[in-house]
Structure 1
Amino acid sequence: MQAFQLDIQTIRQRARQQVAEGARTFTYAGDVQQVIELLNHALATELVCALRYKRHHFTASGLSSEPVALEFQAHANEELAHADRIAERIVQLGGSPDFSPDGLSTRSHADYVAPDSLEAMIRENLVAERIAIDTYRELVRFIGDKDPTTRRMLEDILAVEEEHADELSDWLGRKD
């Protein structure tokens, strides 16, 4: 095994030459424009999911709807927090987060579905969470070691999406 060595003089020189690049340094190995585009699609997904959860929060009805509606509200807030983290990362990478409502649903991986029954709401949210889980897993694989900061952020969001899916599945009375 080779000994670890840093060429601190070169690192210092590059830091000064590329100071306008902010957090993205010479050692960034990802395709920054592609990562920004992928993150903007993830941002759209989180925003669509938050809007769907908000609608379901306000329109859930029936005897057992109150605790589920409150949980829909909590999920909406968590999806908005994910959107904030993604937008912050896009800016760190030198991009612009796309919050434009024009095309939001076409950029989103998940659909905006507005069913009337509580069970259908739970089911549609579970479908969306499962889409998010698979999408984030693929993004994590794609990014790999090229951008560990983005990868860790996506892994954190993925863990919350898995918790949401588990909870929604429990509400439907999953069959293992």
Structure 2
Amino acid sequence: MKPAKPQVSIIKDVQTIRERARQHIEEGAMTFDYKADRETVIKLLNEALATEIVCVLRYRRHYFMAEGMNAESVKSEFLAHAGEEQAHADQLAERIVQLGGEPNLSPEGLADRSHSEYIEGENLEDMIKEDLVAERIAIESYRDMIAFVGSDDPTTRRLLEEILMKEEEHAEDLVSLLK
């Protein structure tokens, strides 16, 4: 029988943590040990928010404007993607607030803040290609944001990784529609 290992606390100074938790309680989740550059993270999240909103608008337009033999199945994909992009926007806005920022939902300058463009497309194939281009832009942007945040803000990193995973799925869905 092996001897029992002594209990080791990973948290070294619980009393200090308790004292700090009582200070600046109005800051909510923003605790003493937050390591990321909060203002830059909020700026990046607002850019991602704008990107998601532009994607929602483009997917919705494509949903309503899609015509042709394969339009019905593609329309359902456009609508599903629009809903998922809206969910991403909501998650990003919520995280911005948690970090003590304000989500920029103003239509003024929306296209300038967005990483992707709002390009309508002339036909069904163009629409799919424009959505695929936007997804590829989002994928690269999210990878850059994840690298920037690193281990300094694990909650934001995890959120960005979850959104990235969905964007990669969207890109694969769109490629399969083109084949």
TM-score, normalisation: structure 2: 0.94
Q: 17, 28, 49: which is aligned to 2:23? A: 17
Q: Among all aligned residue pairs of Structure 1 and Structure 2, give the percentage whose two residues are the same amino acid.
A: 59
Please give the secondary structure, in 1, of the residue aligned with 2:150.
Answer: helix
Q: Is 156-165 or 2-11 further displaced after alignment?
A: 2-11
**Distance between the aligned counterparts of 2:150 and 2:87, measured in 1?**
23
Match of 1:170 in 2: 176
Q: 142, 153, 158: which is aligned to 2:159? A: 153
Q: 93, 115, 124: which is aligned to 1:87? A: 93
5+ residue gaps, structure 2: 1-7
Q: Structure 1 residue 109 and structure 2 residue 115: aligned?
A: yes
Q: Structure 1 residue 122 and structure 2 residue 128: aligned?
A: yes
Contact 1:44 1:107 in 2 (8 A): yes
Measured after TM superposition, the shift of residue 3 of structure 1 is 7.3
Q: Structure 1 residue 138 and structure 2 residue 144: aligned?
A: yes
**Distance between the aligned counterparts of 1:4 and 1:100, measured in 2?**
44
Q: Structure 1 residue 4 and structure 2 residue 3: aligned?
A: no
Match of 1:48 in 2: 54
**Distance between the aligned counterparts of 2:26 and 2:111, measured in 1?**
34
TM-score, normalisation: structure 1: 0.95
Root mean square deviation, CA, Å: 1.1
Please give the secondary structure, in 2, of the residue aligned with 1:162.
Answer: helix
Match of 2:84 in 1: 78
Task: Sort the Cα spacing of 1:81 and 1:5 in 2 relative to 1 into closer, same or farther, 3 A.
Answer: closer
Match of 2:36 in 1: 30
Amino acid aligned to 1:98: N
**Distance between the aligned counterparts of 1:83 and 1:47, measured in 2?**
6
Please give the secondary structure, in 1, of the residue aligned with 2:140.
Answer: helix
5+ residue gaps, structure 1: none
Match of 2:3 in 1: none
